[in-house]
Amino acid sequence: MTLDWSVVWKHRDALMAGTATTFLLTIATMAIAVPCGIVVAVLRLYAWRPVRALATGYVELFRNLPLILVVYWAFYVLPILTGLGLSPLATGLAALSLNVSAYNAETFRAGINSIRRGQVEAAMALGMTRAQALRRVIVPQALRRILPVLASTWVSLFKDTSLVSVIAVTELAYVSMQVRAQTFRVLEMLTAMAVLYWLLGYPQAKLVDWMQRRMKVTE
């Protein structure tokens, strides 16, 4: 078998654009899923009982569905639910956000629970409301504590964005598959894809490790 690597270089523009979309998807998903995760975690912990149950139901539903199923589901159901003709990108973003928010909610819940009770009591003793105690005292500490978990979620998410290729979001995986289909250069394109994902993913993981060391709170 002869390998022709020039196919990768020839389609570099498309691959770059796909990479940009992959980054955009990852960043946008996290930008949505971190605040949503905090809100859902707080609802699960402190809200009025029925709301709490609803939040728990949401987390348990989306944590236990295969992401690819959620992607398809969003593609077919969201337009019916919202009455909007959403772009593949927006649909993919919605599916990823639904999934990652559920994971983040669990992460935040564990983080909030790990802050000892005395911290809330100290905040309450100052006269803070529960919301102020959460915002000023508990969540910032929880955030630092769960940074390693968020980091691995981020790195997983970066790779999992490839799943939205099934609904034709033109991110890195979709573009690579397109090139493969047009050129029949299967091994070259799969290898290129692997190299690109790894080269892009590894520094991100290291960067988050570094952030985590820097932001570490010692007690």
Partner 1 sequence: MSASSAGRAKAAGAKIIRYLDVVKRYGEFTALEGVSLDVHAGEVVCLIGPSGSGKSTLLRCTNGLEPIDGGDIEFEGARLPRDERALRAVRQRMGMVFQSFELFPHFTAQQNVAEGPRTVLRKPAAEADRRATAMLAKVGLADKAPNLPAALSGGQQQRVAIARALAMEPDVMLFDEPTSALDPETIGEVLNVMKILAQEGMTMVVVTHEMAFAQRVADWVAVFDAGRIVEQGPPRQIFESPLTDRTRDFLSHLGWSG
Please give the residue ranges that form the binding site for partner 1 (CB under 8 A). Answer: 118-119, 121-129, 132, 136-137, 140-141, 144, 217-219
Whichever of 15 and 150 has its CB closer to partner 1, that residue is 150
Residue nearer to partner 1 on the CB measure, 17 or 120: 120
Cα–Cα dist 100/66, whole Å: 12
- Least distance in angstroms from the C-beta of 32 to partner 1: 25
CB of residue 196 to partner 1, shortest distance in Å: 37
In the complex, the smallest distance separating the C-beta of residue 116 from partner 1, rounded to whole angstroms, is 8
Q: Which of 38-44's residues contact partners 24+ apart within 8 Å by CB, and which partners? A: 38/104, 38/105, 38/108, 38/139, 40/101, 40/102, 40/104, 40/105, 40/108, 41/104, 41/105, 41/106, 41/107, 41/108, 41/109, 41/111, 41/112, 42/108, 42/112, 42/134, 44/105, 44/109
70 vs 137 by CB, closer to partner 1: 137
Pick the closer one to partner 1 by CB: 87 or 119.
119
Cβ-in-10-Å burial (0-12, 13-18, 19+) of 52 comes to middle
Question: Could you tell me if residue 127 is left (phi over 0), alpha (psi between -120 and 50 degrees) or otherwise beta?
Answer: left
Of residues 135 and 159, the one with the C-beta less far from partner 1: 135
User: CB 211 → partner 1: shortest distance, Å?
Assistant: 15
Instruction: Tell me how far, at minimum, the Cβ of 115 lies from partner 1, in Å.
Output: 10
